[in-house]
């Protein structure tokens, strides 16, 4: 007798859809998990987080570090920075809705840690405007240097953007950059600029993205 076949029906529920100066931003729910989509492009979800945590581990060399995280996401990188014993963590997130979703939908308790400061701002402009320095800078504002959320973000990965990052790195500090795919042109730019560059690959299955990469220097 033929074995019956069963189908799993996936129902994505739109929790919130809003218009921002950068386009449409959507929060969806799939069972017990949430996804963030920008202009129809999947950005991140709450399913895994291994690559975001590895991004922070690649940059934070020990307890007591001052850490800058570009992009709050769903809170994995922030939680990892605190778990690594950071003395202070500054998070720069351009979308106020993402901060609100972390509080009300993802239950990101790390936002209430006294070591944490969250600023709603464009990272590129924020880097140029201040002069505080950090032992670790972790960039996770796009799907990668060659897959940016907005065209304007591409400047962050060019020479001018890296100059702004360098000005915020303390002596001996480390930069780590998240990317969903290999970014050979960006990697070459890093190798021309920094003495040590390491590429770490993390195999994950997270929505439509199956591989993530961090480039640290």
What does the alpha-carbon distance between residue 26 and residue 35 come to, in Å, rounded to a whole number?
A: 8
In this predicted structure, what is the pLDDT of residue 202? 87
Q: Are 56 and 77 in contact (CB under 8 A)?
A: yes
In this predicted structure, what is the pLDDT of residue 208? 42
User: Is 162 inside any structural domain?
Assistant: yes
In this predicted structure, what is the pLDDT of residue 96? 98
Mean pLDDT for the chain? 90
Tokens representing residue 212 in the block: 């993530």
Span 126-169, pLDDT tens digits: 999 999 999 999 999 999 999 999 999 999 999 999 999 999 99
Q: What percent of the chain has pLDDT over 70?
A: 89
Whether 216 shows a pLDDT value over 70: the answer reads no
Distances (CA, A) of 54 to 31, 40, 132, 211: 26, 27, 24, 13
Number of structural domains (the chain) is 1
Would you call 10 exposed, middle or buried from its count of C-beta atoms within 10 A (0-12, 13-18, 19+)?
A: exposed
Distances (CA, A) of 45 to 18, 118, 175, 182: 18, 20, 23, 20
Q: Are 57 and 84 in contact (CB under 8 A)?
A: yes
Strand partners, 22: none
At residue 211 the predicted structure's pLDDT band, cuts being 50, 70 and 90, is very low
Tokens representing residue 71 in the block: 């992009």
User: Is 181 inside any structural domain?
Assistant: yes
Whether 109 shows a pLDDT value over 50: the answer reads yes
Strand partners, 174: 136
In this predicted structure, what is the pLDDT of residue 118? 98
Give me the helix-helix angle, 184-193 and 159-168, nearest 10°. 50
At residue 87 the predicted structure's pLDDT band, cuts being 50, 70 and 90, is very high
User: Is 149 inside any structural domain?
Assistant: yes
At residue 212 the predicted structure's pLDDT band, cuts being 50, 70 and 90, is very low
Which structural domain, as residue segments, surrounds residue 110? Answer: 48-216
In this predicted structure, what is the pLDDT of residue 94? 97
> Whose structure tokens read 């609100």?
100
In this predicted structure, what is the pLDDT of residue 135? 98
Stronger pLDDT, 135 or 5, i.e. the higher one = 135
Tokens representing residue 69 in the block: 């995280």
User: Is 40 inside any structural domain?
Assistant: no
CA nearest neighbour of 138 among 208, 80, 62 = 80
Whether 10 shows a pLDDT value over 80: the answer reads no
In this predicted structure, what is the pLDDT of residue 69? 98
User: Is 61 inside any structural domain?
Assistant: yes
**The model's pTM:** 0.89
User: Is 179 inside any structural domain?
Assistant: yes
User: Is 126 inside any structural domain?
Assistant: yes
Q: Other C-beta atoms within 10 Å of 104: how many? A: 11
CATH code for the domain in which residue 73 is found: 3.40.50.150
What does the alpha-carbon distance between residue 111 and residue 109 come to, in Å, rounded to a whole number?
A: 5
User: Is 39 inside any structural domain?
Assistant: no
In this predicted structure, what is the pLDDT of residue 64? 98
């Amino acid at each position: 007798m033929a074995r019956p076949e069963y189908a799993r029906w996936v129902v994505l529920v739109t929790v919130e859809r809003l218009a921002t100066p950068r386009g449409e931003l959507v929060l969806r729910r799939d069972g017990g998990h949430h996804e963030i989509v920008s202009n129809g492009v999947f950005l991140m979800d709450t399913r895994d987080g291994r690559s975001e945590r590895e991004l922070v581990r690649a940059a934070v060399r020990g307890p007591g570090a001052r850490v800058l995280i570009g992009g709050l996401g769903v809170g994995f990188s922030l939680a990892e920075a605190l778990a690594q014993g950071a003395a202070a963590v500054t998070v720069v997130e351009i979308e106020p809705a993402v901060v609100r979703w972390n509080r009300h939908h993802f239950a990101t308790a790390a936002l209430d840690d006294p070591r944490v400061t969250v600023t709603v701002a464009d990272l590129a402009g924020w880097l140029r405007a201040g002069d505080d320095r950090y032992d670790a800078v972790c960039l996770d504002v796009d799907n990668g240097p060659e897959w940016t959320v907005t065209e304007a973000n591409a400047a962050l990965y060019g020479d001018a953007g890296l100059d702004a990052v360098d000005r915020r790195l303390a002596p001996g500090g480390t930069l780590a950059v998240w990317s969903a795919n290999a970014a050979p042109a960006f990697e070459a730019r890093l190798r021309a600029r920094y003495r040590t560059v390491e590429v770490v690959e993390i195999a994950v299955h997270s929505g439509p993205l199956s591989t993530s990469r961090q480039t640290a220097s």
